[in-house]
Structure 1
Amino acid sequence: MLPEENVREYYMIRDIRDTPKALDAVVKSLDGISEVAASARKFRKIFFIGCGSSYYAVLFGSWPLMKNGSVLAFALPSSELILHFSDAVNSDSLVVGVSRSGRTAETLKALEICRGKGAYTVGFTIEGGSEITGIVDEPVVLDIGEEKSIIMTKSFTAFSLSTAMFSSILSERISGEKQTLIDECKAIPSLARSLLSYEDKIAATSKRLLSENIERFIFLGSGPSYPIALEGALKVKETSYVATEGLHLLEFRHGPMATIGERLTLVISCFLGENTVHLKNFVSEFAGKGADIILISNSIDLGESTLKLPPEYSGECKALLSIIPMQILAYYYAVGKGRDPDKPRNLSRYIQRF
């Protein structure tokens, strides 16, 4: 999308548009990721850690292993592992940490503690030569180029895909069960490019939300799209400073639905496969209550306003791709409010002290 006359274009939207190239770089790194997964096959207790967007990325990335009945997989904020779960880590553990900068204080500290307990450690980053590469057993550096905005966009998507591929490869080797995402990964960059064509439509939606004085968002997801909902909520919160939250889809009915009737928009990323009836019932129920709904789905019969993704891919694939329209929405909503999404208030590229 070309920026309107006299409207500044920030780095954040350029980083989002660069996502397909970043995903291409992840695909090219798959041989290296596969080698790291091969060395981790013997572990049966696996911890994924990160902070902020990196935590949501590993929450998504751990999904293939969380479904594997032969291994225990956990995704935790780095600080929570330090404060509450470090005693669960031992020499039978694998700990996977993610940090865009490679310098995030809590993540570095958690990895040091875990390695001291005999755990095998893996660190994902986009900064070669950063601290994380020197303290883990296996560093994985993704060559996705610089992300100029403080806000994580293309790096989030790259970390989500790379850790999910790591989990899928490891899960397949542990259980022998075929992991669909492994075969789909090469198509994901081109699918991401196609989603960027929604930019004008999403920008117009953001303009509508601003004109209607929408000041609260609830992002909803289920299964692998739940971490994506959390990340979508964070994008709006950290760029526009409005109230947002991320919830499991059907948990919205257990209390939070009382907020319907306020200036509120529901953003739903949901791909339930044979359970799509639950999504249809949900949309029907809350549209009937007057809820403003933005839906990202593969379903073809949920209304013309739906941002549709191709139905032939796995739920993990579609869930990951759905972050792109959420990021675009956050960007145009923030710019429309007069915010600078590249320099959000009180934030820096990483937290230096724990």
Structure 2
Amino acid sequence: MDSNHVSPMRVAAVVAFYMGAALVMVFVNKTVLNSTPDTPLLFLFLQLTIAVILLHATALFSSRIEIPHWDLHTAKKLLPVVTINIVGLVFNTLCLREVEASFFQIARGLVLPLTIAVTSVTTHSHPAARVIIAAGIVTVGFFIGVAPAGNLPVTSIPSPISLFYGVFSSLAIAIHTVLIKSSLPYCNNSTIQLAYWTNAGSAILVAPFVLLLGEPARILELSASPEWNMKVFVWGSLVTGFFGFLLCVAGLLSIKVTSPVTHMFSSAARSVIQTLLGVWLFQDVLTVNRVTSLMTILSGTMYYTWIKATNQAQAPPPARPVDLEALNRSRDDKDESNDVQVQEKKATGSD
């Protein structure tokens, strides 16, 4: 599907769907990671597995949901997007565990410039100057949030390892966002099939590391402790598994009907809402740096939205399809008229 011919209402609906699912995922994830910080990969594996089960269950009740057949050739073609997906998810989870929910998007501030860079390299194109300026404004907003603030409590200061996780998460997300469009043809251009391959493949890839790190044994140890609330882990896994399923489909749809850069700018706008909710739900600290960061991000996002609206307004209307039948009729009428004129001239000359 060409994103240039998708209605604005459809794009807005898809982006809103994506943002809503992502916000629920972040805050439920953060709640579980606060309760059980030592089993991030097991928690991630359960989310992916639940998403796969939900896809199978949905396929039983809807003919529109088509579960792809396991095929080694297709699996090899999709290995890059599946691998980079699980790498991004792992670094996302580790980053969220280490930072406040309101700081999560700020810690991943390099997503925008890296997405533009990866898109330019893969498409052998140069982004427009105004797009670079808009991305620069948003990126400056992220780095304002990262800058040290003297009035922060020790528990709210991001550690170097959290920023390391954020940088690698940003790189993985940028590559994954660009790889999705090139991977869709291997799944019959079906976002559902790609979502299935992505979730199932990621679960298979992360499972050995869950066992090697001994995370199931840690859960057994925690279950023997009266201080640990197992309900938070169980319900958190179920809820994030469900919304992870929605988020996977929503993210794929967002990229399919927009562009990788537009998709990332919607993520930037989501970070503003996420920060405010973090302050409300987790009592995260909101400093002058972070307020300035939010305002800068909003400014860059609105500027980019204005650029896109201006480009669409200036774009030439699509060419009208040629009516070959009418064209042929016109030619036939012209030929008949010429024949009549020739016959009249011959008749006049004979007289």
TM band (smaller chain): under 0.3
- Determine which structure has more spread, i.e. the larger CA radius of gyration: 2
**Comparing both structures, which one devotes a greater share of its residues to strand?**
1
Larger RCO, structures 1/2 (Cα 8 Å, 6+ apart): 2
**Comparing both structures, which one devotes a greater share of its residues to helix?**
2
